[in-house]
């Protein structure tokens, strides 16, 4: 309690510039902690939803059913990438004359755009944390230097200079550096942790895209094979019917 009282006492007795520096750093620290908590829960939700969706995806569930479920809900992570890719796949497959290569390329392009949007959402508050982590110590140092300047300058009007005259001013100024470090250290640690988590999720999304493209490619190849077999069967049936008609149309010699 005494320590807290001393901190408040230093703050109230500090100069105007040092007070402004302290208030800026305290505000930055509060916002940083709010963003840290928000990003922590958001990235956990993205990871969890991606795991649940990929589990359903590889369980053999129908792709159309997964797509319809993703339409009804707000999706993130792998499910959002799947939704964008499968939507483009269905739309482009209906176009006449579209080759399997063109369909896959358009699907990949749609998934890349969706992944970039997911990355932007995940990195939304990271620039603020980076700024706080890199600049707060210098802002606090500015407040400290300014406070020491004021404390030392006050000695010019004193008839006898003693340490007790400048010690309170220096202590008030050093509080600014302490607050700057208090704001910077959690922001820097959180920024590094979030960058690592986001890079891990992006690698996961890349792997899912490759696997999903392989599934769609096999589906297109199967469809093409079925259509080719049906065409061959129809051609053979038509040829047999034509030969039968020719035989029936030939005159019978007596």
* Three-class secondary structure assignment of 20-76: HHHHHHHHHHHHHHHHHHHHHHHHHHHHHHHHHHHHHHCCCCCHHHHHHHHHHCCCC
Residue 96, CA atoms < 13 Å, CB-side half-sphere: 0
Residue with tokens 């792997």: 207
Residue 57 · residue 82 · CB < 8 Å: yes
DSSP state at residue 77: T
Residue 174 has a CB neighbour count (10 Å cut-off) of: 16
Q: Which residues of 100-112 are buried (b: 16+ CB within 10 A; e: fewer)?
A: eeebbebbbebbb
CA-to-CA distance for 176 and 17, rounded, in angstroms?
10
CA-to-CA distance for 181 and 200, rounded, in angstroms?
29
CA nearest to 212, candidates 67, 43, 49, 39: 67
State the DSSP string of 139-181.
HHHHHHHHHHHHHHHGGGG-SS--HHHHHHHHHHHHHHHHHHH
pLDDT in tens, 193-245: 999 999 999 999 999 999 999 988 888 776 655 555 555 555 555 565 566 55
Question: Residues 104, 105, 109, CA angle at the centre, nearest 5°?
Answer: 115
The pLDDT, as a whole number, for residue 138 is: 92
The pLDDT, as a whole number, for residue 1 is: 42
pTM greater than 0.85 (yes/no): no
The pLDDT, as a whole number, for residue 41 is: 94
Residue spans of the chain under pLDDT 70? 1-13, 153-166, 168, 222-254
Dmax (CA) for the chain in angstroms is 149
The pLDDT, as a whole number, for residue 192 is: 95
CA nearest to 208, candidates 110, 111, 118: 111
CA nearest to 202, candidates 103, 67, 111: 111
The pLDDT, as a whole number, for residue 36 is: 95
The pLDDT, as a whole number, for residue 75 is: 78
Residue 104, CA atoms < 13 Å, CB-side half-sphere: 16
CA-to-CA distance for 49 and 78, rounded, in angstroms?
8
The pLDDT, as a whole number, for residue 3 is: 44
- Report, in angstroms and rounded to the nearest whole number, the Rg of the chain calculated over CA atoms: 35
CA-to-CA distance for 116 and 61, rounded, in angstroms?
27
Residue 53 · residue 76 · CB < 8 Å: no
């Amino acid at each position: 309690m005494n320590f807290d009282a001393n901190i408040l006492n230093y703050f109230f007795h500090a100069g105007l510039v040092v007070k402004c520096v302290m208030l800026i750093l305290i505000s930055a620290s509060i916002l940083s902690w709010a963003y840290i908590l928000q990003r922590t829960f958001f990235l956990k939700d993205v990871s969890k939803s991606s795991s649940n969706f990929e589990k359903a995806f590889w369980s053999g569930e129908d792709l159309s059913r997964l797509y319809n479920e993703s339409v009804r809900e707000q999706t993130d992570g792998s499910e959002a990438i799947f939704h964008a890719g499968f939507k483009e796949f269905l739309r482009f497959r209906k176009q006449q004359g579209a080759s399997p290569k063109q369909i896959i390329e358009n699907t990949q392009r749609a998934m890349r755009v969706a992944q970039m949007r997911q990355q932007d959402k995940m990195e939304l508050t990271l620039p603020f944390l980076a700024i706080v982590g890199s600049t707060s110590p210098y802002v606090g140092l500015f407040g400290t230097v300014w406070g020491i300047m004021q404390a030392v300058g006050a000695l010019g009007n004193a008839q006898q200079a003693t340490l007790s005259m400048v010690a309170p001013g220096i202590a008030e100024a050093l509080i600014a550096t302490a607050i700057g470090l208090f704001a910077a250290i959690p922001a820097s640690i959180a920024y590094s942790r979030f960058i690592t988590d986001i890079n891990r999720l992006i690698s996961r999304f890349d792997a899912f895209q490759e696997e999903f493209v392989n599934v769609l490619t096999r589906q297109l190849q199967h469809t093409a094979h079925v259509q080719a077999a049906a065409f061959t069967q129809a051609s053979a049936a038509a040829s047999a019917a034509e030969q039968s008609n020719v035989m029936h149309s030939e005159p019978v010699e007596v």
